[in-house]
Chain A
């Protein structure tokens, strides 16, 4: 019966519920109706009882999932028995790897173990991911702010950048970058020289690099002292700000202190670091540091691609601060710079942090595409070379996925902590 018909049926007068709070007699009627309801509410049969059904469905799902898992696992073990004498074992990690890795942050040669090779890949992934995150954030913020510029042309340039790079696959971009750009750079003798000097050639990118001298460890101590001094200064400035209600530029003074100590140390100590500049010699560059083509292609591809996404995140964050906030700040007499620093930015940051976290995670995971352009990152070393040499699928995939998973969980944990700190504290 439709609901409207139901409602239009007139109930007999004695069945109408009594209006409450009239007198004691009415109250007693109320009580009796309640008891009636209670009496009619007998437990439903077990096959319709929500609690029983809930437990039953959970048991069912767990049994199905465990059953499937066991089925797959037993198939896998019997399959593996035909290949290896011991189905699952990590002991092969101690054996000599026997393959070379193009670039490594730590000492590595083909005599070292598989475990060492794995760590080399992991560090290479870290290197690309950290540099990528720093540069992509800088470029992304720049483009996001450009997108909001009052200047029509600047805003359009940013919009076109965002629309182009958000809509082409990263892998195509990376391969284009590696094979269409970095591979086609001129030979060393005709290298493109950028100020610095930076040499771009088909052997990679040579940049100036510092070589630490004997006084370097002492200089590091001086720097550490500078940071401590900066922290003390920042603490007193903050206390003063709390007392007077006028917060000074704490971060700026902190940086100034550290920089001042660093500068004094650099002058006083006898040359803590020599700047080694690359130069051409015959058919090669000498000196400096040479960043490989693959590394540069991967890094620049990741930066260009992720910056487009970060720009959108930044734009959305800034636009999420309501217009009234800006107007109120102007009405209070804050300068545009103060408005941005004290009003817009802290509020935008709350909106920006969560999607920014997932962009950082995406960049880290996307760095696994290095395998397509020959950069020896974690996945290329472990998922390809080691896996092909040893045939230990289960062990290698466990290690790879475990590593990426813990990286992801760690990053999102840290960002959540930060997010909680800057969160709007509500009543």
Chain B
């Protein structure tokens, strides 16, 4: 190299850091000046110690035996083992729903869809899974691929409607399967929600919390923006009150006081439902504030144009204002969904066995004394996987919708 540079002096030769892209990159990003180099060294030392201690803990100190031994508890809580097939059925159908939805919004086989379809195969690699579990995961993958292709055979105009019907049907079927129908000794005996637990319950609480609070939240947001003073004042009071108090106080209040509010002889509302009521009321206030942000971002001209076209207040709200307002706040709503999902852990403090509650029961078992670090680390990782993938998906969606760019 040097000889070439010496022989042809007219050809300028780049400095060594620019000749190799890796070196150039290192210089620009890590060693651009003395201060930067010191920072890099400090960060490297820091990373080295963190990584060393973490790996040492994960592979030498930690006793992971507690996780496979309690895997069913972590996943489904006290849900009876004889009825586990119903949960698998729910998961197959969920796979199909994911397939159908993805066909609907992507149109072609995009990278994310491929990634989603491979998730069951990755899960099949987990070493301690039984053959039955692996088979079930495989069926889930097949179901989602089937959903994807069957949706593809429908004419494009009818896909949206078909998907909506399918999802609505799924919700009903899911509840029937989980709750059970018929006699105690029939083919699908009822399973009380008290027995639902683990990851299953955490996901269900988050899902129903957000779906039930959404309409209430939109109504409150519209109420807060309303011209009618009585409605506006009541919405403001509700929203500000709920946002001013911690969720834990609402949850405790739900457990202790909900039954007091109901008339004598009213059937006892179970713990899970009481918690769901508290979560829904809490989440609605936050949804309302987020939706209000969207409503305020709509220029006045849209209202005036709708009025000029002769649309009634109802028509313009439903057809003009809300679609634009909600579209603008999709990323914020996803963020709220994530925090609601994380907040469902609080139900563990009122005696419900969600993921965290189950972790506490496992640790109360004398066989697993002192495995706090392992159990809570796994719980944290499970929550992290779900929350992070949601926030990742929301960032992609945001870019795709061009929210904030236009």
Q: Which residues of A contact B227 (CB under 8 A)?
A: 54
The residue that B376 contacts in the complex, of A80, A175, A371, with Cβ under 8 A, is A175
Segment among B3-11, B178-186, B210-218, B384-392 that sits at the interface with chain A: B384-392
Q: Among the listed stretches A148-156, A201-209, A225-233, which one makes contact with chain B, having 4 or more residues with CB under 8 Å of it?
A: A148-156
How many Å lie between the Cα of A57 and that of B228 in the bound state?
A: 9
CB distance B372 to A176 under 8 Å? yes
Interface members, chain B 361-406 (any A CB < 8 Å) = 363, 372-373, 376-377, 379-380, 383-384, 387-388, 391
> Which residues on the A side are within 8 Å of B247 (C-beta)?
365
8 Å CB interface, B28-74 against A: 29-30, 32, 36, 39-40, 43-44, 46-47
Residue in B closest to A80 when the chains form the complex, CB atoms: B260
Q: Once the chains are docked, how many angstroms separate the CA of A404 from the CA of B246?
A: 8
Q: What is the distance, in angstroms, from A315's C-beta to the closest C-beta of chain B? A: 15
B156 within 8 A of A: no
Q: At the interface, yes or no: B346 with Cβ under 8 Å from chain A?
A: yes
Residue A291 lies at the interface, judged by CB distance under 8 Å to chain B:
no
B244 within 8 A of A: yes
Majority SS at the chain B contact face:
helix
Q: Is the CB of A172 within 8 A of B256?
A: no
Nearest A residue (CB) for B31 = A151
Smallest Cβ-Cβ distance to B309: which chain A residue: A3
| A371 and B338 form a contact (CB under 8 A) | no
Structural contact, A404 and B245, CB atoms closer than 8 A: yes
Are B32 and A150 interface neighbours, CB within 8 A? yes
Q: Is A76 part of the binding interface, using a Cβ–Cβ cutoff of 8 Å?
A: yes
Least CB distance from A362 to B in Å reads 9
Contacts of A409 in B (CB 8 A): 240, 244
A115 interface residue per 8 A CB criterion? no
| A159 within 8 Å of B (CB atoms) | no
Q: Which residue of A lies closest to B313 (CB)?
A: A50
Q: CB of B85 within 8 A of chain A?
A: no
Given the interface pairs A167-B388, A172-B376, the reply to whether A379 lies near B249 with Cβ below 8 Å is: yes
Among residues of A, the one whose C-beta sits closest to the C-beta of B385 is A167
Asked if B305 is at the interface of the complex by the 8 Å CB criterion, the answer is no
Contact for B229 among A58, A71, A152, A366, CB less than 8 A: A58
Contact between chains at A365 and B30 (CB < 8 Å): no
Q: Would you give the shortest CB distance from B395 to chain A, in whole angstroms?
A: 11
Q: Which residue of B lies closest to A165 (CB)?
A: B384
Tell me, yes or no, whether A179 is within 8 Å of chain B by CB.
Answer: yes
Q: A76-B260, A168-B383, A172-B345 are in contact. Are A150 and B43 (CB under 8 A)?
A: no
Binds A, one of B121-129, B261-269, B295-303: B261-269
Q: What are the residues of chain B within 8 A of A407 when measuring CB–CB?
A: 244
Instruction: Collect the chain A residues with CB atoms within 8 Å of residue B384's CB.
Output: 164, 167-168
Interface residue? B230 (CB, 8 A): yes
Residues of B within 8 A of A184 (CB): 372-373
Total number of residue pairs linking A and B with CB closer than 8 Å? 160
Given A153-B40, A404-B246, CB of A393 within 8 Å of CB of B234: no
Q: Does A260 contact B (CB under 8 A)?
A: no
Q: Does A79 contact B (CB under 8 A)?
A: yes
Q: In the complex, A179 Cα to B372 Cα: how many Å?
A: 7
> Is A176's CB under 8 angstroms from B264's CB?
no
Question: Does B231 make an interface contact (CB < 8 A)?
Answer: yes
**Most chain-B CB neighbours within 10 Å: which of A76, A80, A387?**
A76
Q: Which residues of A contact B356 (CB under 8 A)?
A: 169, 171-172, 175
Nearest B residue (CB) for A366: B246
Residue of A nearest to B344 (CB): A169
Q: How large is the interface on A (under 10, 10 to 19, 20 to 34, 35 or more residues)?
A: 35 or more
Given A151-B43, A171-B356, A365-B245, A75 contacting B260 (CB threshold 8 A): yes
Chain A residues whose C-beta falls within 8 Å of the C-beta of B372 in the assembled complex: 176, 179-180, 183-184
Q: In the assembled complex, how far is the CB of residue A158 from the closest CB belonging to chain B, in whole angstroms? A: 10
A393 in contact with B380 (CB, 8 Å): no
Closest to A69 in B: B261
Q: Are B248 and A393 in contact (CB under 8 A)?
A: no
Inter-chain contacts of B257 with A (CB < 8 A): 76, 393-394, 397
Say yes or no: B342 contacts A153, CB within 8 Å.
Answer: no
Residue of A nearest to B338 (CB): A167
Q: Quick one: closest B residue to A79, CB to CB? A: B260
Closest CB in chain B relative to A174 CB, distance in Å: 10
Known A172-B345, A371-B349: A408·B380 in contact at CB below 8 Å: no
Contacting B at CB under 8 A, from A27-81, are 50, 54, 57-59, 61-62, 65, 71-72, 75-76, 78-80
Closest chain-B Cβ to A152's Cβ sits at a distance in Å of: 4
Could you say which residues of chain A place their CB within 8 Å of the CB of B377?
A: 176, 180
Q: Which of B229, B342, B348 contacts A170 (CB 8 A)?
A: B342
Is B343 a contact of A169 with CB atoms below 8 Å?
yes
The listed residue (A72, A149, A404) touching B249 by CB distance below 8 A is A404
- When the two chains form their complex, are residues B376 and A180 in contact, meaning their CB atoms are under 8 A apart? yes
Task: Report the nearest A residue to B241, measured CB to CB.
Answer: A405
Using Cβ atoms and an 8 Å threshold, which residues of chain B touch A173?
A: 380
Q: Is B252 an interface residue, CB under 8 A from the partner?
A: yes
CA distance A196 to B155 in the complex (A): 73
B253 at interface by CB-CB < 8 Å: yes
Nearest neighbor of A387 in chain B, beta-carbon distance: B256
Minimum CB–CB distance from B343 to chain A (whole Å) comes to 7
CB distance from A365 to the nearest CB of B (A): 4
Residues of chain B lying within 8 A (CB to CB) of residue A150: 29, 32, 36
Given contacts A150-B32, A150-B36, contact A176 B373 (CB under 8 A): yes
Q: Which residues of B contact A151 (CB under 8 A)?
A: 29-30, 36, 39-40, 43
Residue A163, interface by CB 8 Å: yes
Q: In the assembly, what is the distance between CA of A173 and CA of B383, in Å?
A: 11
Identify 16 new A-B residue pairs, CB closer than 8 A, beyond the known A79-B264, A171-B348.
Answer: A54-B228, A58-B229, A62-B230, A72-B262, A79-B260, A153-B47, A167-B342, A169-B343, A184-B373, A369-B248, A369-B346, A372-B349, A384-B252, A387-B252, A404-B249, A409-B240
A–B Cβ pairs within 8 angstroms, 28 of them:
A50-B313, A57-B231, A149-B39, A150-B29, A150-B36, A151-B30, A151-B40, A151-B43, A153-B43, A153-B44, A154-B40, A157-B47, A167-B387, A169-B342, A170-B342, A173-B380, A176-B376, A179-B363, A180-B373, A180-B377, A365-B247, A369-B346, A372-B348, A372-B349, A393-B253, A401-B244, A405-B241, A405-B245
Top 4 A-B residue pairs of the complex, sorted by shortest distance between their CB atoms? A152-B29, A167-B387, A408-B244, A169-B342
